[in-house]
Amino acid sequence: MPAVLNRTPNTCRISCAQAWSDETPIPFDSGHLSCVMPSTLGAGDVVNIRGDKDPLGERSKDFTAAEAARHEAEQFRRLAEEAREVRDHHREALETVRQERERLRETAESARLAGEQARMAAETARTASEDARIAADAARHAVVDAVRATADALRASLEQMRVVEDMRRTLREIRDVNKLDSN
């Protein structure tokens, strides 16, 4: 039957009422084995006291306890393996996320460069459009000036035609007057 040791620190376990400190030498003549030999058992520890009454029962209990300990160790090993697998899975997932983030960053950088190039092309097109507008405005002014010059030339031609027509009329009148005088 297991015995539970109840003792206070630094006193003899068999209740010899001797209080010992760490500095006092251990008395070899106290007659108590526990006073002479220090132990690692603490207060409330269970000690199995074996008798010769049931040696096989104790061995089967030891075997059962060892089997339970092996089973528990196997469970811990499986849990540790599962934890490693989960950790590896998380590491792979994090690596996948990192790679995806890197791809997105590269895509964003490419899009930014393309946007910059498009902006520069739009600026070039705007400048060319402004130049074309200025050239078209100059051409319009040239056409207006040419139309005005043509109108002025037509007006001058018309004036000359009137003068020529007036001269013909005058010539006809002179001829008519000469024909009447000769008759």
pLDDT tens by residue, 128-170: 999 999 999 999 999 999 999 999 999 999 999 999 999 999 9
Those residues whose C-beta lies under 8 Å from the C-beta of residue 18, and which sit 6 or more positions away, are 11, 12, 27, 30, 35
Q: What is the mean pLDDT of residues 35-44?
A: 50
Q: The pTM is what?
A: 0.39
pLDDT tens by residue, 86-97: 999 999 999 999
* β-bridge partners, 47: 3
87 or 58: whose pLDDT is higher?
A: 87
* β-bridge partners, 46: 4
pLDDT of 5 > 60? The answer is no
User: Residue for token digits 């108590």?
Assistant: 32
**Alpha-carbon distance 174 to 180, whole Å?**
10
Query: What is the per-residue pLDDT for 60?
Result: 76
Which of 48, 46, 32, 41 shows the shortest CA–CA distance to 9? Answer: 41
**Alpha-carbon distance 24 to 30, whole Å?**
14
Query: What is the per-residue pLDDT for 32?
Result: 47
- From first CA to last CA, the distance across the chain in angstroms is 182
